[in-house]
Structure 1
């Protein structure tokens, strides 16, 4: 069997600028370097991410899905999209002041997401009752929604 060599060429820089009214926000610093599966390699060929807070203080992200996230030819793998939603929606709860772990993530895939395109991940913390924090979000570009998710987060008990 012939061994395929991995392409080690790094893709060119991408523009992850936010929209008017968005403020850059270092969301990953809320949880530490060990919990950055998606945002841990900012210049690689898997994901490139930049976080913001919008005017309503909700977490937003600009994300580029690189060639290493490929599933269907030329498109992001569903697992790659789910990983992004897991990180962004979990960080949205942290950014709202809730120390959490994700208890359940329900993802609905709507459209194939072309590779090497910058998309937006929107999040909204919709409720916080007892130890349960519910966050909704979606990956989109303009009017096109690629995936939507509901995330049930559970607050971490004080030690």
Structure 2
């Protein structure tokens, strides 16, 4: 398992000293990613629970990180988020994501937030389009696209 690199002042995965969430993503051997996250009052929506936008931001970043790990420099163009249970503040939970498939310049991914008891709280899927010009000069720490698709058993 390897830690994915942080990039600057990203709202979700920027440095722990930034005003963002300070999430650290980890890559698994199957090319999926995960993070253990605990949100605080800065991400509150209803009293004691995370704002839906914070959950959406986590899934957007998780799915995007999984796509980056697969070797693609992308930007999200569509997210579908399903809220099943509220995410409590101050309690750890797990965020996971993986690449689903690639079709031309589009890459799809899926992600989920599970509470400590493994209850599915939020799930999502996203469409990402290659946009390397947006990320020039950024370190990646990714596997090659060929290696990633081989791990997943997916055609390019």
TM over 0.5: yes
> Shorter-chain TM-score: what band?
0.7 to 0.9
Q: Residues of 2 paired with 1:130 and 1:56: CA distance? A: 22
Q: CA 1:116–1:158 in 2, change beyond 3 Å: closer, same or farther?
A: closer
Q: Residue by residue, what CA displacement relative to the aligned partner does 1:41-91 show, whole Å, maximum 9, x if unpaired?
A: 425786242211123121111111111100011000001111111111111
Q: Which has the higher contact order (CA 8 A, sep 6+)?
A: 2
Structure 2: distance between partners of 1:48 and 1:117: 16
Greater gyration radius: 1
Q: Distance in 1 between matches of 2:68 and 2:18?
A: 25
What are the ranges of 5 or more consecutive residues in structure 2 without an aligned counterpart? Answer: 135-156
Which structure has more strand as a fraction of its residues?
1
Are the counterparts in 2 of residues 49 and 64 from structure 1 also a CA contact under 8 Å? no
1:138/1:148 contact within 8 Å kept: yes
- Secondary structure of the 1:49 match is coil
Q: Is the 8 A contact 1:45 1:68 kept in 2?
A: no
Pick closer, same or farther for the CA change 1:73–1:53 going to 2, 3 Å: same
**Partner of 2:26 in structure 1?**
52
Counterpart-to-counterpart distance in 1, 2:60 and 2:88: 20
Per-residue CA distance 1:6-50 (angstroms, 9 max, x = gap) = xxxxxxxxxxxxxxxxx131243xxx325x111224257862422
Say if 1:117 and 1:46 are closer, same or farther in 2 by CA, change over 3 A. farther
For this pair of structures, how many residues does the alignment match?
Answer: 133
Task: Please identify runs of 4+ aligned residues in structure 1 that moved more than 3 A.
Answer: 43-46
RMSD: 2.1
- Structure 1 gap ranges (5+): 1-22
1:25 match: 3
Aligned to 1:136: 110
Cα 1:78–1:96, aligned 2, differ >3 Å: closer, same or farther?
A: same
